[in-house]
């Protein structure tokens, strides 16, 4: 007969286990703690924890433990259980409930089954147990099988305990009514804890899928930023992992927990979410004159009109005997100059090289030197003021106004993210995501933060964002940059106060750039 003190101690164990279960976040560890706690409280020699399969048609072995046989499969053990034990069907081939197997019976009926001796039990099929015993020399005797239901009454799994041991003699006994009540209480607590963790995992998965949906929308809107949204998180996490392994220098004591890594990854995935509001003709501006279409083709047509008007004027003069001496040569020279100037404007439209003052002056001269007649007979300059402003962009393809539109995406990103009710472990996502265009010297945007005003994580994302942009091969306005050139530019950024110097040193010393290059760059780009 169990004493009151012993029973109280077991109840205290149950309370302690309940507290521990509520704190465990890893599902595989949680499952193992459930089974080990049940074994301890009921003094069982072995046990199995089954979970309901997603289709709710079977019970799947999740954890199997047996102290005497030294078996520890599934859970935190790292030993796979799949393939060793087959799922238990909850229905027979004819659709009737499976009441032959004790675990399936407990799942189908919601009742606890306490079997003193499996070899003498009636109504249940223990043939598999006997085969197991024959192959191992073991003797399975007492079974306690408890359905695990959550607070809504939904079946989560089944807890099955094997061979209750006498604490004094280690003799195998039947499970007592006290054992059964304690196991049922633990199973109820465990089911709720497991349900909570499953819900958390499902919410995390849903949230990350939603982030993927946003990035997919950006990808559909612009294939030139979709790849960026996928690659920057990868590079950010590579740099974060490198920092975490650094033991010397300014970053020698910087350490990130698993939660910190998760928070940074979410921020990296969302760092450009504001681009969903950026006009696509600005995001995808491959040439200086591109809007919905590339206006260089309109200029081509105007040049043809200019040439046709010159030819028409020449041949009218010839027909009326008013052609000046050398008119044919002048016409040929004019037409040739038209082709030369058109070719120059086409090169200027690409925006691949930094434009000189002389080239900018030439654009404006060409724009005013030629005129063409519109459908109303009005003579217009070859280039409009807007076209000249676009063609005179000194570097890249964006005008100052368009660059401001592009830059606005980060303010939109911050505004969008700050409106979300972030849980405690993700509360700094807006800061990390919104800081990747800041500079160490305070000349970045949108807030003009300086180095000491920024977190390490935001500074990591800044390096990842720039390096990915330099080496990307899917941008319409530039060629893929080789690794050596990108690193040279990054070194200049380090010296110029653009990026964090200590983080860049880790980026180089730990060869983060090389790991990234091997994963995402073309072989021809890897030249160092």
Q: With beta carbons less than 8 A apart as the criterion, state whether 499 and 493 touch.
A: yes
Beta-bridged to residue 145, according to DSSP, are: 113, 160
pLDDT at 89: 94
Residues of the chain falling short of pLDDT 70: 1-25, 78, 82-84, 222-226, 283, 323, 325, 352-353, 475-478
Give the pLDDT of residue 5: 57
Q: Within 10 Å of residue 296's Cβ, how many Cβ atoms? A: 19
- CA torsion angle 478 484 487 493 (round to 10): -70
Q: What is the pTM of this model?
A: 0.67
Written as one string, the DSSP assignment of 56-100 is: SSEEEEEEEEETTTTEEEEGGG----TTTSPPEESB-TTS-B--S
pLDDT on residue 213: 84
Tell me, what's the pLDDT at 322?
73
Largest CA distance in the chain: 133
First to last CA, the chain: 78
Q: Are 32 and 63 a contacting pair, CB within 8 Å?
A: yes
Query: Tokens standing for 116?
Result: 């003193």
Q: What is the pLDDT of residue 435?
A: 93
Please name the residues in contact with 186: beta carbons below 8 A apart, sequence gap of 6 or more.
14, 17, 18, 34, 37, 38, 41, 159
- Report pLDDT for 507: 97
DSSP 462-510: HHHHHHHHHH-S--TTSPPPPHHHHHHHHHHHHHTTSS-HHHHHHHHHT
The alpha carbon of residue 264 and the mean position of all alpha carbons in its chain are separated, in whole angstroms, by: 10
Distance CA 126, CA 101 (A): 7
* Cα 80 to Cα 78: distance, rounded to the nearest angstrom: 6
């Amino acid at each position: 007969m169990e004493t009151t003190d012993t029973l109280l101690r077991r109840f205290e164990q149950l309370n302690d286990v309940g507290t521990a279960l509520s704190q465990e976040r890893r599902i595989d560890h949680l499952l193992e703690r459930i089974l080990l706690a049940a074994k301890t409280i009921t003094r069982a020699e072995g046990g199995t924890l089954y979970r309901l399969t997603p289709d709710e048609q079977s019970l799947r072995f999740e954890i199997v433990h047996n102290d005497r046989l030294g078996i520890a499969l599934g859970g935190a053990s790292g030993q796979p259980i799949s393939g060793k034990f087959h799922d238990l069907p909850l229905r027979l081939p004819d659709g009737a409930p499976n009441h032959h197997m004790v675990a399936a019976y407990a799942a189908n009926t919601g009742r606890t089954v306490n079997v003193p001796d499996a070899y003498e039990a009636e109504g249940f099929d223990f043939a598999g147990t006997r085969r197991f015993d024959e192959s191992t020399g073991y003797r399975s005797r007492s079974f306690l099988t408890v359905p695990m239901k959550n607070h809504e009454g939904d079946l989560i799994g089944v807890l099955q305990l094997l061979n209750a041991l006498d604490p004094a003699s280690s003799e195998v006994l039947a499970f007592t009514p006290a054992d059964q009540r304690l196991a049922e209480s633990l199973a109820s607590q465990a089911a709720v804890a497991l349900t909570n963790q499953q819900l958390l995992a499902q919410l995390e998965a849903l949230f990350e899928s939603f982030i993927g949906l946003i990035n997919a929308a950006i990808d559909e809107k612009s294939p030139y930023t979709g790849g960026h949204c996928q690659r920057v998180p990868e590079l950010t996490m590579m740099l974060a992992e490198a920092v975490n392994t650094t033991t010397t220098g300014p970053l020698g004591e910087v350490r990130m927990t698993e939660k910190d890594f998760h928070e940074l990854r979410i921020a990296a995935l969302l760092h450009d979410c504001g681009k969903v509001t950026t006009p696509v003709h600005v995001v995808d501006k491959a040439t200086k004159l591109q809007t919905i279409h590339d206006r260089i083709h309109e200029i081509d047509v105007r040049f043809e009109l200019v040439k046709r008007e010159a030819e028409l004027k020449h041949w009218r003069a010839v027909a009326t005997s008013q052609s000046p001496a050398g008119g044919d040569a002048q016409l040929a020279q004019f037409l040739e100059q038209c082709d030369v100037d058109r070719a120059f404007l086409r090169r200027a439209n690409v925006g691949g090289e930094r434009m000189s003052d002389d080239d900018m002056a030439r654009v404006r001269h060409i724009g005013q030197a030629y005129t063409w007649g519109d459908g109303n007979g009005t003579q217009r300059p070859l280039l409009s003021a807007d076209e000249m402003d676009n063609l005179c962009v000194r570097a890249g393809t964006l005008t100052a106004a368009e660059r401001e539109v592009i830059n606005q995406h980060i303010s939109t990103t911050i505004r969008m993210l700050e409106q979300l009710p972030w849980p405690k472990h993700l509360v700094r996502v807006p800061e990390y995501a919104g800081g990747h265009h800041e500079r160490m010297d305070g000349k970045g945007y949108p807030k003009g933060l300086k180095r000491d005003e920024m977190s390490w994580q935001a500074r990591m994302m800044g390096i990842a964002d720039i390096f990915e942009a330099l080496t990307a091969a899917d941008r319409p306005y530039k060629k893929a940059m080789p690794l050596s050139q990108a690193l040279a530019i990054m070194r200049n950024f380090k010296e110029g106060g653009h990026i964090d110097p200590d983080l860049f040193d880790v980026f180089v010393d730990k060869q983060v750039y090389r790991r990234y290059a091997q994963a995402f760059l073309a072989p021809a780009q890897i030249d160092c």
